[in-house]
Structure 1
Amino acid sequence: MLNILADGLMPLVDDLFAPLGTLQRFEGRQPTPAQLAQAEVLLVRSVTQVDAALLTQAPKLRFIGSATIGTDHLDIKAIEEKGLFWTAAPGCNADAVADYVLSAVLNWQTMTGRDLPALTVGIVGVGNIGSRLSRRLNVLGVKVLCCDPPKGEPGFITLAQMLPQVDVLTLHVPGGQGTRHMIGATELAAMKPGALLINSCRGSVVDNAALLAWLEAGAGQAVLDVFATEPDFDRRLLDLGLWLTPHIAGHSIEGKRRGTWMLYEALCQKLGQVPQGRFEDQLPRAPVESISGIELAVRRLGNLVFDIRDDDAWFRAGLKAGRTFDELRRSYPKRREWGSLKAGSLEDGARLWDLASH
């Protein structure tokens, strides 16, 4: 039987992995040396740095799984040099992050009295999340501009071309030196007056000092789920940020459970075993499963499932009560994805909701 060491906050681990070995959980950001010494399978989230130092403490390690889209917390070079198998969960929470951004855009659009078809949204990074977001915004009649230099797709533009054109700029790139301070003072100055910046990827992508200066000058607004100072929080942002959350954009029930499920499938494949059950069977019933007979407004329906303003209020109240960033992130309330809500008897509206929520 395998010795399996898993992050204490990962869901479904007991149900899925218990038949495959002996389970142990670790709390906080890093496992202890004693836990690592026996681990053959390591299951982590983005808060755990799997680097050369950790690997030297885990001589029995054979399998590393990260229940995340991003992999900048994994030292892939060090892992592969040791001949270890590793995997992540690309796309596991892409719809959850797209829900988060759409909630921000639609509530901001309503708050500022703007017409949705008149908005131009710039998406930087058009991978699993950015591509879903682009499609869903297009369904709503929003003009979308895309920037993703590695892809070089026809119709994509450069960041410099994008900045002066967009009312909303939303970031979906990986962390690391290649994207560090991608958005700095020069880029912020190039944006439209009053534009909205949404960062739900990595805090390091935005120069924090430049962001603070831009917000203090009243040049624009920001919705922030990630911060350069994590797990510390720069409290100056409480008075400057529009809506703030503790790195939970992707933390839907579906997103978190899908990440664990993808690692379970990968380990089963590695062991030559067949996964038991279906992912759909791992989800609880949604608090609101269906709705019908009302005039459709995507924002209103979306807010029934997830409203970014509620999370902003919860985060601010938690900080005021003296709770830390990590404590709040660990205790984030359970949340479903927009796609869990089915709309019926809304004529063309039901079709629009179906397209805009997936």
Structure 2
Amino acid sequence: MRTLIAGGGTGGHLTPVLAMAQELRRADPTGEVLIVGRHGGVAEDLVTAAGFRLETLRISGLDVGNAVSVARFAALLPAAVRAARRIIRDFRADVVIGGAGYVSVPVVLAARSLRIPVALLEQNAIPGRATRLLARRGTLVAAAFAETAVSLPHARVVHTGNPIRAEVLATPLRELGETCERLLVMGGSQGARRINRAVAGCVERLLARHPTLQVTHQTGALDADEIEAVAAGLPAELRRRWTRAPFIQDVGAAIMWSDLVLMRAGGSSVAECSALGRPMILVPYPHAGDHQRFNAAPFVQAGAARVIPDDECDPQRAAAEVEALVDDPDAWRHMAVHSAQLGRRDAAPRVLELMRRLTAPPARIPR
């Protein structure tokens, strides 16, 4: 099977795209996979580093509340659709996956014009604008959240879970101990200033009050110097228990090392943490339609996570939420159990099975 996958507006958007590409390669070593990303986007480095072929299109993001953004997108779209049609023909795609982001729009439109089967991936509970734009009657949408179906009443929505990269799933398992002693702080690949400053403001208190606590902190590049300045002012013994890095390459290993994760509520992040059975303190990103609040909701309702609203994420609240679990091992372990129960480690194979059905020839009716 020759599969073309479009997506990768951000690092988070690219995660399920790469996960599906890996699953396709594993399940069908003789098949071919082509990823189409935005010219100048994050996909250019990450896709080639992962060993997949990449083509790019010139397309911009779309802010429907900004007239300039709408005009730019509309101006670029026709040429992008023509370019996508050429790429699909040259590749001889059997099926197209609209992974995420606005690069999916011209690719999916081109595929439909060529009568190529199309499936959409949606990693958030509330579908993004690209998915809403492309989902029409009968469209197959593989959704990370069961709640997504409510927002796409005319599409065929199947709750598959969010595809997770092979290297994350292959992370050697580490059973949790008796107490919560390892905190992982993440804000996405770019970091999250609100979380960074909250942790920087309370890390001395946490480490001083809890002598066995260790903190690993992905700061993002923009806040790295500010965080290092805070670390420089700590006593040496405390500083040694606060590991800081602008970017964590092996996210699976970092999650598995942890006992508790404090982070945003991106679709891929919560999927990875739950697949590895880790409890979460989530600080949903408050912009982009507040969609992360809806990602967090099922995990909170199931007892796998707690939420700090972004505007309440200060040093005092962050410290209180972490200490509530460090000081209450039973509550913390119950969260871990519920997180593992929600984890979907088979999402990529489930999406692949749906794709195979799309490309299967019609069954013959016996005479």
Normalization by structure 2: what TM-score? 0.30
- Whichever structure has more helix as a proportion of its residues is 2
Normalization by structure 1: what TM-score? 0.31
